Amino acid sequence: MDSQSLLFHANCPSCGAEIGIHSATALTAVCGYCHSVLMINNGQLIKSRRRSAILEDFSPLQIGTTGVWKGQQFILTGRIQVHYEAGMWNEWHALFTNGNSGWLSEAGDRFVFTQEKEKKSLLEKFPICGSTVVNYQNRNWVVTDIRQIKQGRLEGEGELPLELPRRQKVHTIDLRSGKYFMTMEYNRTAEKPTIYVGEGVTLAALKLQNIRSASQIRAQSGRLKGKMQTGKCPHCGGSIRAVTGLATYIICQQCHTSLTLNKEKVQLLQADNARQMQESELTIALGSEARINGVSWMVLGAVVMEELGPLKAIEKLKLKISPKNLSEEDEDDYDSKWTEYLLYAPDKGFLWLIEQENNRWALATTLDEWPEIDYPSPLIIKGDKDKNLRCLYDYGGRVIYAAGAFYWEVNAEDVNYYRDFGTEKHKLATTLNPNEQSWSVISDVPASAVAAWLQNDKKPTIVPTPMPIATADTIFQEHQNIKAVDFRNKKLLRKWWFEFEFRALKKIQESGFWIKIFNIINMPLFFLIIFTDYFGFMNLVFTIMVCVFAYYVINLNFLKNLKKLLQTKHIFAYYGLIAVIGFSSLNWKHYQNFKETSTSGYSHSTGRWHK
C-alpha cells in the first residue's frame, strides 16, 4: 500500500497541510501537523472544535506500518488512545487490501488483532469474570476481563472509521476461548454491543514493515522504550527508578507513596502519610539486570504478598466459587509470604521471578492460549481428575506493599484468588478477581540458577554458588516452552512428578555424589594406614594414587562431552557406581594382600608384633 492507494487528498481547514484518506468508510481524520480533529463528509474535511493530543508511549507501531495477518496485507491508518483512571491502551485501525478493516489492540505489551463481526447481545445479565460463559460461532467463550470506565478520555491520530468524542463512557468485556479472543464493546448510543473477534498475536508473526526505529523514537520522544531513568520522589525526596515508555505507575520504595508518570515527569498522585508499611529488604534490588538466555532483563518492580486462606479471599472478593478439599479449620495454615519481581526485556516482554520462603524460587509466564475449562466453573480444567494432573492448592494473596515501576496500578490490600494445577515442578496456575482472570505457567528453579542469572550484577545477594550459566539457561528454556496443552500429556506429567518426588535421584547424575560415596567407602583405609603399624609408606602412596585416579575418572574432567552424554541418557549413575565399586575393590584388595604379607613378615622378625 502506497500513496497511490489513497482514496482522495484534501487540505486541513485549520493549517492547510495535505491529508490523504485511504478508506471510503473513514469518518474522522486527525491532522498530523496541527492535531485538529476533522470530520469527513462527501470528500471534504470539516473542522471540529477540538484537538487531539496523543501521549507518546514509545510504541514501535506508527501510521503507515504494514504487515500481514491471516494471509491478508494491511496498513495502519489511525490510532485511538484510551485513557482512564487505571491506565491506558492503544487501538490501531488496520485497513486490509481487500477493503476490510480490523483493530490491533496494544495494552501492557500484549497485542490482539480483532475484526468487527456484528452488533448482538450475548449476555442476559451482568457477567461474572471467570464464570459467565457464552456460546458464539460454535465456541464456548468465558468472560476474562470487565472494564467499566465512566469518563474515559479518547485521543486519536490518523484516519478512523468512527467519530472521536473527547470523553466517553467505555464499557468493554473481553472473552477467551483457547487461543481466540473476543471483545464486546458497549456504546451509550447503541442498543446492542459491537462484537469483535480475533486472536492474540506477536509483532514478529505479523511481519511488520515501516515500524519506528530506535532513532525515530529518540527523536520523537527523547527516550527509548525500556530506558531506565531516575528521579526524586516529590513526597519524600527519595530516589525512584522508572522505565520510560513502559511504566505508568510507580511506588516509592522509601515512603510507599503512589506516583504516576506524565510526559516523563513524576507527579504526585496521592500521599498517604498514615499508611505505615512493614519494611522489607528485597533480595533483588530494583534496577538490577539479569542475564537470562543471552538477554538482559531489567528488574522493574517488586510486589510483596502475604498468603490468605481461600475462604477469606473468597469473602473479600465476593466470588461465587468453592475451594477444593478445605475446611474452615485449615484457614490458619495460610501464613506464608512471597515476593514477585517484574522483569522486562524490550524485545521479549515481561517475566515474573518469584521468591518464596526458605530461598525457593520460581519463574512465571502469562499464557496467551488458555487450557480447556470445564464450565461453568472458572477453576476446573478438563483432565483435572487425572491423578497426574492434580489440583494442588487453593489460596488467596494480598499485596503488603509494592515498590518500583509497573504498567498497571498496584495498591496495598489488593487481593487475588489462586488455584494451582499440575506438579510441584511445573504448575498451571490461574489468578482470579472480580474484574479479571488469567492463566500462567509457574516453574520451580534452583536458587543457584537465579544466582547465575544475576552474577554480573552486584546488587542482588543470592546465597548459593551460581550454577553454570548454560545449565541455568536450559532451565529457563524448558520453562518458556511449556504450554497449557502440555498439562494434558500424562507421560510428561509423570516425568515432572518423578523429577520432583525423587530429587535425590538427580544427585546420582553428578560426579560429586559418587565422589562422596567413594570417600565414605575408602575412608577406613586411611585410618588403618595412619593409626596402625601394619602398613608401610608404600601402601599409603598406593592408596592415595588409586584415590586420585578414581577422582579423576569419576569426575570425567578429561572427557566432558562423554560425561554430558552419559548424564543426558541418564546412565551416569551406572558409570559412577561401577567406578566406585571398581576402585574401592582395588584399594581393599591391596589392603588385604598387604596385610597378609606384612603380618607374615613381621611374625618371623620379632615377637613384639604379636602383643
Average pLDDT over residues 93-115: 86
Query: What would the pLDDT profile of 222-264 be if each residue is shown by its tens digit?
Result: 443 445 566 666 556 566 666 555 556 677 766 666 666 554 4
Distance from C-alpha of 163 to C-alpha of 176, rounded to nearest angstrom: 28
Q: Is the pLDDT of residue 217 over 50?
A: no
Average pLDDT over residues 405-427: 85
pLDDT score of 454: 92
pLDDT score of 602: 42
Which is more confident, 409 or 537?
A: 409
Distance from C-alpha of 282 to C-alpha of 144, rounded to nearest angstrom: 32
pLDDT score of 272: 41
Q: Is the pLDDT of residue 157 over 90?
A: no
Query: What would the pLDDT profile of 318-328 be if each residue is shown by its tens digit?
Result: 888 888 766 55
Q: Is the pLDDT of residue 419 over 70?
A: yes
Distance from C-alpha of 460 to C-alpha of 610, rounded to nearest angstrom: 64
Which is more confident, 594 or 350?
A: 350
Radius of gyration of the chain (CA): 32
Which is more confident, 577 or 198?
A: 198
Share of the chain above pLDDT 70, in %: 66
Q: Residue count of the chain, please give it.
A: 611
Dihedral Cα 186, 188, 190, 193, nearest 10 deg: 10
Query: What would the pLDDT profile of 430-445 be if each residue is shown by its tens digit?
Result: 999 988 888 999 999 9
Q: Write out the three cell numbers for 110.
A: 500484549
Query: What would the pLDDT profile of 577-610 be if each residue is shown by its tens digit?
Result: 888 888 888 877 777 776 666 655 444 333 332 3
Query: What would the pLDDT profile of 520-574 be if each residue is shown by its tens digit?
Result: 887 877 777 666 655 566 667 777 777 777 777 777 766 667 766 776 666 777 7
User: What ranges do the domains of the chain cover?
Assistant: 3-217, 279-501, 507-610
Q: Are 72 and 78 in contact (CB under 8 A)?
A: no
pLDDT score of 459: 67
- Going by their DSSP bridges, the two strands 101-107 and 228-232 should be labelled as unpaired
- Across the chain, mean pLDDT equals 75
Residue reference for cell 488512545: 81
Average pLDDT over residues 253-280: 50
At a CB cut-off of 8 Å and minimum separation 6, what does 396 contact?
Answer: 307, 308, 309, 310, 312, 313, 314, 316, 317, 334, 415, 416, 417, 418
Distance from C-alpha of 3 to C-alpha of 21, rounded to nearest angstrom: 10
Q: Is the pLDDT of residue 275 over 60?
A: no
Which is more confident, 64 or 227?
A: 64
Q: Is the pLDDT of residue 137 over 50?
A: yes
Query: What would the pLDDT profile of 4-62 be if each residue is shown by its tens digit?
Result: 355 445 656 555 556 555 544 454 555 655 555 554 555 555 455 544 445 555 577 88
pLDDT score of 52: 46
